[in-house]
């Protein structure tokens, strides 16, 4: 069993920054696609989907916010690596919540839009779900030890 380090060095901060950077891009891409779907749904008069799309959009905003909050965690836990481990565990759990909302509501809308005016938006929703899956993979691959 290895001892937990007592402080972080520059390499530790760099490793943490890479973890955050790996999530920022797909998170921002997903939010952009969802914004486009919301806009197109409104233009197409898909009022029945407005509540579900608002939930997906809110989940994307929360996800991006959590990613940014995590960016500051290594600095806050600089002298307490145990806090870093706790933050990572909590962060993994918190990130999955909005991603699961995106996936759940996205799946429902894809089913609802299998025919009719929402059908052209299915590809963007599928892209959103692929990005959510990619983020879940990245979260699962995040090292579970102090950097």
> What pLDDT digit, counting tens, does each position of 84-119 carry?
666 777 788 899 999 999 999 999 999 999 888 899
Sign of CA dihedral 136, 123, 27, 25: positive
Q: Which domains does the chain have, with CATH numbers?
A: 10-141 (1.20.120)
Taking Cα atoms as reference points, which of 108, 106, 95 lies closest to residue 135? 95
Q: What is the pLDDT of residues 27-60, one digit of tens each?
A: 999 999 999 999 999 999 999 999 999 999 999 9
């Amino acid at each position: 069993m290895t001892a937990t380090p007592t402080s972080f060095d520059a390499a530790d901060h760099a490793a943490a920054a890479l973890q955050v950077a790996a999530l920022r891009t797909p998170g921002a891409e997903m939010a952009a696609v969802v914004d486009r779907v919301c806009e197109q749904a409104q233009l197409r008069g898909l009022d029945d989907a407005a509540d579900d799309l608002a939930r997906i959009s809110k989940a994307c905003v929360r996800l991006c916010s959590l990613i940014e909050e995590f960016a500051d965690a290594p600095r806050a836990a600089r002298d307490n690596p145990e806090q870093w481990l706790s933050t990572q565990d909590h962060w993994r759990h918190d990130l999955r919540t909005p991603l699961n909302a995106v996936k759940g509501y996205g799946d429902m809308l894809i089913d609802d839009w299998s025919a009719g005016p929402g059908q052209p938006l299915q590809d963007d929703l599928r892209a959103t779900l692929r990005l959510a899956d990619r983020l879940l993979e990245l979260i699962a691959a995040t090292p579970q030890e102090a950097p």
